[in-house]
Structure 1
Amino acid sequence: MSKFLATATAFLAAVNSVSAACTNPTQRKPWTDLTTSEKAEFINSTLCLMDPAQAPSKTNYAGSKSRWDELQVAHIAQVQFIHTVGSFLPWHRWFMTVHENLLRTECGYTGPIPYWNEQVDQAAGPLTASTIWGTDPATSFGTGATDENGCVTDGPFTNLRYNINTELERGEDKCLQYDLKQNQFDQLSQDIVNACNALDDYVDFNNCLGGAPHTSGHYAIGGTMDDVSLSPADPMFFMHHTNLDRLWWVWQSKNESRLTDMGGKNVATSTFLVAAQPKSLPESAFAPYFGDNSNVTTLDHIMWMAGTAENITIGEVMDIKSDAICVEYL
C-alpha cells in the first residue's frame, strides 16, 4: 500500500460532525453583483490559495504544495465516486464550502462568494460577451484569449501552473487552458434547467442537472475544464459548481421533503469514469467507508475531503442553512 493510500485510508475512516450553529450565513452572489473591490479581493484571495508561500499544503498528499493543490487532490482521488452518482450534488456542495472556508481562513477573504449565473448570461448573448470576461485582470477572468496551445494569454491566471496528474503524481507543469464553445454554452439555457426543475424525484433531478447544466458548463469553457479529474485547477470550476449548487437549492426549496430526498448508485460504472479513477485508490479503498451499507446512496453516506476538511455525511449538507454549509443565495 502506498504512503498516500495508507494516509488517505486513515482519513477516510475518520468522520466528524460540524457543530457551530448557523446564525450568520455567508452570502453567495452572481459575479455581476460583486463590487469592483470585492471582485479584486476574490481574485487576489484565489491567487493566494494557489501560492505555496502564502497558503502552503498541510497534507502534502500527492506532493501538493499549496492548499489549492489539495483541492485538486480531493477531486482527482475519487473521481469515480463523485460523478454520475447520488453524492454528486451533496459532495460538490461540501466541496464548494471547503473552498470558501480555505479562501477565508488561509487568505483572509471577507466578501461574498461569487457564482457564474450561466443561465442569465446565456440568454443575454454569446459566450464571448459573458459577464465573467473583462480586460482588467484585477476584476475579471480575462477575455478568454489563448495562444496556439490553448494556454490563456490574459487575465489574472496567465501564470497558473498545475502538475498533479490523474494518477496523483507530480508530472509536467500544465498551463490553464480555455477552448470556448458556443454550442455548449447554448445548452446552459434556463429552459433546460426548467425541465430539470419539473422533476419530483431527487434521482431524476440529479441525473438531469448532472447532464447539460453540469457538463456543458465544463465544455463551454473547455481546456482544463474539459478534464473530469483535473478541472478544479481552473478557478472557473468553482464559479460553475457554485451556480449548480444554487440550482439544486432552488429545486430543494420548492418542497421541504427534498431536504431529505437522496438516492442513486454510489459508484459510477461508466467505462469513462472507471478509467479516470487513480489506480492507487480503487473502489475497495472507498466503498467500506461510504456508510450506505449497500450500493445505494443514503443520507449517511460519508464525504471525504482528503484532509482539507472534516469528513461529514450527506445528511449534514442537505440544507444550505445547516451548520456545515451556512450560506444564502442572492
Structure 2
Amino acid sequence: MHVSIIPDDLRHYANTTGTEISQNPDFRRTNSFSPTPSEINFFTMLASVSNILTASLFAVAAVGSNIYRAESDSYGGDEVDALSAAGLAKLKEWTSSNPPAGNCTLENAVIRREWSAFSRQERLDYIDAVLCLQKKPPTTPTSIIPGVRSRYDDFVGTHINQTLFIHSTGNFLGWHRYYVWTYEQALRTECDYQGHQPYWNWGKYALDPVNSPLFDGSDESLSGDGSYFEHTPVGVPGAPPPFDVIVPGNGGGCVTSGPFKDMVVALGPIAGTLDGVTANPTPDGLSYNPRCLRRDISENAAVSTRTNATVSLLTTHDNISDFQDYMQGVFAQGILGVHGGGHFTIGGDPGGDFFTSPGDPAFWLHHANIDRIWWIWQNQDLATRQNAIAGQTHMTGDGVPTTLEDDQFFQVNAKVPKLKDLLTTLGGAGGEFCYIYQ
C-alpha cells in the first residue's frame, strides 16, 4: 500500500504542470540544485495551500479545541525498550550466521543512546559540536545554493533538494538513515565531537514536551519553546475533522533560551506552516533569508508520539509498506504518525516546514529515533525485514517503483550509495555503518 501525504489538489497540480517531475522520477536528484519553473510553481503552491488551510481552520481552533491532548499514557516508558532488547537478541543470533560486512561486529558497534541518558558534559559536548558546525564555512558554493552560509546549511540544502524523493517514498527510511549518519560523522571529524548521535525517545516526554530535558531551555537542552506569537493552527491536509488541525501551542515566536537562542536560520521557508515568517526571496527557498529560530512546541502533536503509538506501529504492521506509511502518517484516517507527530511537536520555523526541517537542531534527534524504530522493527524478523522495501521514487506517487539498486543523493555531504547498502546498521554503507541502539 502506498499512502501519499500530498493532498489531491496538489497531486493534480504536480501531475498537470510538473512534466519534468512526472516524466522523469530522478529529475533534480543529482548534484544540481537548480529548480525548474514547474518545481518552483509546485513549491509555491505547497506554501499557498498550507496558508489557506491554516487560515480557514483558525475559527475551529479558536474555540479551544484540544483534540490531540491525552490525559495519560497507557504504556510504560520501557515497552519499546523491551521490544528493542528482544530484537537485539535476535540480531545477535542472526549475525552469528550472517556476519556484517567489513570489520563491524555486534561487540564493537557504536551504541547510540537517548538524550536523557547523556550526562551533563555529554550533552554540552554534543551542543558544542552542533554550534561548531554552524560556524564553519559551507562546502556548497553560493553559486549553487545562494543562501548557504555554514557547513550546517549544507545539510539543510541537501534536504531541500531531495525532499520530493525522500518523503512518502521507498527511499524515506534508507535515505534518512545515511543522512543522519553523515551528519554525525561531520560532527565527529570536523568539530572533534567524541560522542555519537543521540536520539529523542518521544514517548518519555509526550505529555509535557516543553519541560523535557530536550526543550526546557537550559544550557544543556536544545533550547526551549518560542516566545508567544499568536498564530493560526496547522492544517493537516486530507484529514477528517477533528484531526484536520493541530491547535497552536504557547510559542510560535523566536526561541529566547538555551544554546540556540542566537541561531540564524538561513534557508527557506518553502512550505511553511507558521504565520509571520519572512518569505524567501525565491520560491525554491534557496536564497539567503536570515531570521531567528522559531518554535511552537505542541502537546497536541506530541500525543501522536506516545509510547503506545510506537508500540502499535512496531507490533501491528508486519510488512514494510504499511510500517513506513503509518510511521509517516495516514492523514486520511486522522493518523499523524510518529514522524509527523515528532516534527509538529517542534513546529515553528524551520521545524514545521518539511523541506527545511533539518534547520532546527532537534531534527537530528527526532530522525535518529525514526531510524531506531525502523531498526527495532527490522530486528523482530531479520530474514524477512532486513532488505524489505516498498513504494515509489516520488512523493506524489507518480514515480517508478523503488528498487534496491536506486542511487541515493546527498550532494556535497557524502558519496552516492545505493539503497541496498543502507538497510543494515551493522556493516551497511560499504562497511561504514557500525552502530546499534540502547
TM-score, structure 2 as length reference: 0.63
Q: Is the CA contact (8 Å cut-off) linking 1:316 and 1:324 kept in structure 2?
A: no
* 1:138-186 deviation line (CA, Å, top 9, x unaligned): x112332425461101111111112223415323212111012111111
Whether 2:242 is the aligned partner of 1:116: answer: no
Output aligned runs, 1:1-330, within 5 Å. Answer: 8-9=31-32, 21-23=103-105, 24-51=108-135, 55-60=136-141, 61-63=144-146, 64-122=148-206, 125-137=207-219, 139-146=220-227, 148=229, 150-165=253-268, 166=270, 167-197=284-314, 198-211=316-329, 212-224=337-349, 225-256=351-382, 257-269=384-396, 295-322=400-427, 323-330=431-438
Q: Distance in 2 between matches of 1:6 and 1:260?
A: 23
Give the aligned partner of residue 16 of structure 2.
none
Secondary structure of 2:413's counterpart equals coil
Measured at CA, do residues 7 and 312 of structure 1 come closer, stay the same or move farther in structure 2, by a change above 3 Å? closer
Q: Distance in 1 between matches of 2:30 and 2:149?
A: 17
Q: Is the CA contact (8 Å cut-off) linking 1:96 and 1:242 kept in structure 2?
A: yes
Q: Is the CA contact (8 Å cut-off) linking 1:119 and 1:188 kept in structure 2?
A: yes
Task: Report the alpha carbon displacement of residue 82 of structure 1 after superposing the two structures with TM.
Answer: 0.5
Secondary structure of 1:143's counterpart equals coil
Measured at CA, do residues 6 and 186 of structure 1 come closer, stay the same or move farther in structure 2, by a change above 3 Å? closer
Q: Is the CA contact (8 Å cut-off) linking 1:81 and 1:268 kept in structure 2?
A: yes
Q: Distance in 1 between matches of 2:167 and 2:217?
A: 34
Q: Is the CA contact (8 Å cut-off) linking 1:298 and 1:314 kept in structure 2?
A: yes
Q: Distance in 1 between matches of 2:30 and 2:171?
A: 23
Task: Report the alpha carbon displacement of residue 83 of structure 1 after superposing the two structures with TM.
Answer: 0.4
Query: Could you tell me the percent identity over the aligned residues?
Result: 30
Amino acid at match of 1:126: D
Amino acid at match of 1:201: N
* 1:66-102 deviation line (CA, Å, top 9, x unaligned): 2201001110002111001111111111111011010
Q: Is the CA contact (8 Å cut-off) linking 2:226 and 2:294 kept in structure 1?
A: no
* 1:282-325 deviation line (CA, Å, top 9, x unaligned): x9xxx8xxxxxxx1112111110012111101111111112232
- Structure 1's unaligned 5+ residue stretches are 11-18, 271-282, 288-294
Task: Report the alpha carbon displacement of residue 34 of structure 1 after superposing the two structures with TM.
Answer: 0.7
Q: Distance in 1 between matches of 2:408 and 2:437?
A: 23
Amino acid at match of 1:245: D
Measured at CA, do residues 100 and 218 of structure 1 come closer, stay the same or move farther in structure 2, by a change above 3 Å? same
171-180 or 41-50, which deviates more: 171-180
Amino acid at match of 2:264: R
* 1:270-289 deviation line (CA, Å, top 9, x unaligned): 7xxxxxxxxxxxx9xxx8xx
Q: Distance in 1 between matches of 2:226 and 2:140?
A: 35
CA-based RMSD: 2.1
Give the aligned partner of residue 15 of structure 1.
none
Secondary structure of 1:172's counterpart equals coil
Q: Distance in 2 between matches of 1:127 and 1:69?
A: 26
Amino acid at match of 1:37: Q
- Structure 2's unaligned 5+ residue stretches are 1-27, 34-100, 230-251, 271-283, 330-336
Amino acid at match of 2:390: G
Give the aligned partner of residue 273 of structure 1.
none
Secondary structure of 1:92's counterpart equals helix
